[in-house]
C-alpha cells in the first residue's frame, strides 16, 4: 500500500460525498507514465488517497507517476519565477519563489492577478513549512521523483485528533447563546430576530467553525486572509502559549527554516467563508474581521489536505525587517475591544461545567496578552 492511501470497499464510491471523495475514479495526469502499466483489472477494493480524496484501482501500486511528473509539465502562470523549484499536489505544480523585499511580493501579486482575474486571492503565513510524510518509494511511484515536496496544510482537528462531528452541535449552541446575549444587552428584539434568522441559514455551520478556528479551537478547515500584511505577521512571528487561555506572538529568531507565504486563487465564494458577509451589520467586529479572515472549509473526511487544491504560489522569506506587517494589537483586539469574543469567552466557563465534552475542546481558546 502506498503511503497515505487507505483501502476501502468500492461501494463507498456510490456515496463518496460522505467521506469527501472525488466523484471520479482512476484520475491520472497527462504527464504520467501509466501507459507502462498493464495490470489494470478492477477489484472489489479501491485505494483512496486520504490527503486528497482520490480513488484508484489496485494498479496504482505499480506507480506510473499517476499524479504527473513535475519536469514534464508545461509552464503556466508564474512558473518561470520558481527559483526554488516546485511544490507538488495531484496534477499540478506550485512555484517556490524566494523573496527579498516587500516590492518583490507586490510584483508577484501583480503577475498572479493577471492570470487569475476571476478569483479571490488569499494568503496564509507560516514561520516554517511542513510536508506530508510519504516515504521516498511512494513519492517515486506517485510523482516519479523520490524528492518531491508535498505541502502539508492539514486542518487542526486532524493534527489534534479532535472529532469535530461530536463537538460542533455544542459549539454552535454556545455561539447562539452568546449572540443572543449580545442582542439582550442592547434590548433589541429586531436584532435578536435577525440573529436567529442567520442561525438557520446553511453557511452558519461553516461560520461557527471559522469563529472557532480564529480563537484557537481545532476545526476541519484552514484560516487564510485577504490581507498580505496580516499573512506576513503570521509568517514572521511565532506563537507561544503563556498560560490558561493566554498566548503571545514574538518576532521569529530561528531562521534555519525560511518563513513562507502561501498564495491561493479561489473562484469567487468557492469553499470559503468571508466573515464580512455573515452577520454583517448585525454584530460588532470580532477577531476574524480584524484579520480580514476567510475560512477554507472543505478539508474533511478522506480529503484532509484539500486546502492545497487552489494553491498557486509559495513565497519564502528570510528577513523580517524587509517587510511591512500588521501588529498583534491590530489583529488580536483585547477583551474590551472584542465584545463578541468576550461574551463567547465568558460563556465558555458556564458551558463547560454542564457540557463535559466541551472542556477538552475549549482549552485551546486563547487571548493575546
Q: Which tens digit of pLDDT belongs to each residue from 244-256? A: 899 999 999 888 9
pTM of the predicted model, to two decimals? 0.92
Q: Average the pLDDT over 355-361 and give the result.
A: 72
The answer as to whether 137 is a domain residue is no
Instruction: Express the helix, strand and coil content of the chain in percent, nearest 5 each.
Output: 40, 20, 40
Which cell numbers in the block locate residue 324?
511591512
Question: Is 87 in contact with 314 (CB distance < 8 Å)?
Answer: yes
**pLDDT value for 50:** 95
How far apart CA 236 and CA 320 sit, in angstroms, is 6
* pLDDT tier for residue 155 given thresholds of 50, 70 and 90: confident
**pLDDT value for 312:** 96
Query: Chain centroid to CA 103: how far?
Result: 26
**pLDDT value for 166:** 79
Q: Which helix H or strand E contains 89, and what residues bound it?
A: strand 86-89
The answer as to whether 272 is a domain residue is yes
Nearest alpha carbon to residue 321 among 252, 219, 264: 252
The answer as to whether 48 is a domain residue is no
Q: Which of 24-33, 137-146, 354-363 has the lowest mean pLDDT?
A: 354-363
The answer as to whether 88 is a domain residue is no
The answer as to whether 301 is a domain residue is yes
Which cell numbers in the block locate residue 91?
496534477
The answer as to whether 9 is a domain residue is no
Nearest alpha carbon to residue 53 among 303, 306, 299, 305: 303
The answer as to whether 103 is a domain residue is no
Q: Which tens digit of pLDDT belongs to each residue from 277-288? A: 666 667 778 899
Which of 175-179, 190-194, 343-347 ranks highest by mean pLDDT? 343-347
Q: Partners of 255 in the beta sheet?
A: none
- Parent domain of 280: 156-368
Backbone CA torsion sign across 246, 252, 254, 258: positive
Region label for 201, one of left (φ > 0), alpha (ψ between -120 and 50) or beta (otherwise) = beta
Write the burial class of residue 106 (CB in 10 Å: 0-12 exposed, 13-18 middle, 19+ buried): exposed
* pLDDT tier for residue 135 given thresholds of 50, 70 and 90: very high
Label the pairing between strands 246-251 and 237-243. Answer: antiparallel
- Match 472489489 to its residue by C-alpha cell: 44
Q: Which tens digit of pLDDT belongs to each residue from 198-243? A: 666 656 777 888 888 999 989 888 999 999 999 999 999 999 999 9
The answer as to whether 38 is a domain residue is no
- How many domains does the chain fold into? 1
How far apart CA 6 and CA 323 sit, in angstroms, is 43
Q: Which tens digit of pLDDT belongs to each residue from 16-71? A: 677 889 888 899 999 999 988 876 666 778 999 999 999 999 889 999 999 999 99
How far apart CA 89 and CA 73 sit, in angstroms, is 13
Mean pLDDT (the chain, rounded): 87
**pLDDT value for 348:** 77
Which cell numbers in the block locate residue 28?
491520472
Amino acid at each position: 500500500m502506498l503511503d497515505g492511501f487507505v483501502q476501502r470497499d468500492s461501494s463507498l464510491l456510490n456515496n463518496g460525498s460522505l467521506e469527501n471523495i472525488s466523484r471520479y475514479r482512476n484520475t491520472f495526469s497527462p504527464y504520467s507514465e501509466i501507459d507502462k502499466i498493464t495490470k489494470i483489472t478492477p477489484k472489489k477494493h479501491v485505494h483512496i488517497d486520504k490527503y486528497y480524496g482520490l480513488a484508484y484501482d489496485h494498479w496504482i501500486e505499480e506507480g506510473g507517476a499517476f499524479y504527473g511528473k513535475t519536469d514534464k509539465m508545461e509552464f503556466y502562470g508564474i512558473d518561470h519565477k520558481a527559483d526554488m523549484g516546485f511544490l507538488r499536489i495531484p496534477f499540478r505544480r506550485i512555484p517556490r519563489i524566494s523573496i527579498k523585499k516587500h516590492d518583490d511580493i507586490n510584483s508577484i501579486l501583480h503577475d498572479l492577478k493577471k492570470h487569475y482575474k476571476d478569483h479571490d486571492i488569499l494568503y496564509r503565513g507560516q514561520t516554517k513549512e511542513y510536508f506530508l510524510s510519504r516515504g521516498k518509494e511512494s513519492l517515486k511511484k506517485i510523482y516519479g521523483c523520490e524528492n518531491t515536496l508535498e505541502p502539508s496544510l492539514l486542518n487542526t482537528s486532524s493534527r489534534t485528533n479532535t472529532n469535530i462531528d461530536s463537538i460542533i452541535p455544542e459549539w454552535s449552541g454556545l455561539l447562539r447563546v452568546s449572540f443572543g446575549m449580545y442582542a439582550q444587552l442592547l434590548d433589541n428584539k429586531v436584532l435578536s430576530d435577525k440573529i436567529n434568522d442567520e442561525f438557520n441559514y446553511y453557511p452558519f455551520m461553516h461560520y461557527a467553525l471559522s469563529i472557532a478556528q480564529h480563537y484557537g479551537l481545532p476545526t476541519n478547515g484552514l484560516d487564510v486572509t485577504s490581507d498580505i500584511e496580516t499573512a506576513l505577521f503570521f509568517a514572521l512571528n511565532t506563537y507561544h502559549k503563556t498560560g490558561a487561555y493566554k498566548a503571545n506572538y514574538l518576532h521569529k529568531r530561528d531562521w534555519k527554516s525560511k518563513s513562507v507565504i502561501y498564495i491561493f486563487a479561489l473562484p469567487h465564494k468557492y469553499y470559503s467563508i468571508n466573515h464580512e458577509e455573515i452577520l454583517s451589520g448585525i454584530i460588532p467586529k470580532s477577531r476574524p474581521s480584524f484579520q480580514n479572515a476567510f475560512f477554507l472549509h472543505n478539508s474533511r473526511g478522506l480529503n484532509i489536505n484539500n486546502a492545497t487544491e487552489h494553491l498557486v504560489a509559495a513565497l519564502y522569506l528570510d528577513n523580517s525587517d524587509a517587510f511591512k506587517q500588521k501588529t498583534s494589537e491590530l489583529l488580536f483586539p483585547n477583551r474590551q475591544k472584542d465584545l463578541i469574543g468576550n461574551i463567547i469567552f465568558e460563556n465558555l466557563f458556564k458551558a463547560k461545567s454542564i457540557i463535559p465534552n466541551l472542556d477538552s475542546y475549549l482549552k485551546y481558546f486563547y487571548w493575546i496578552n
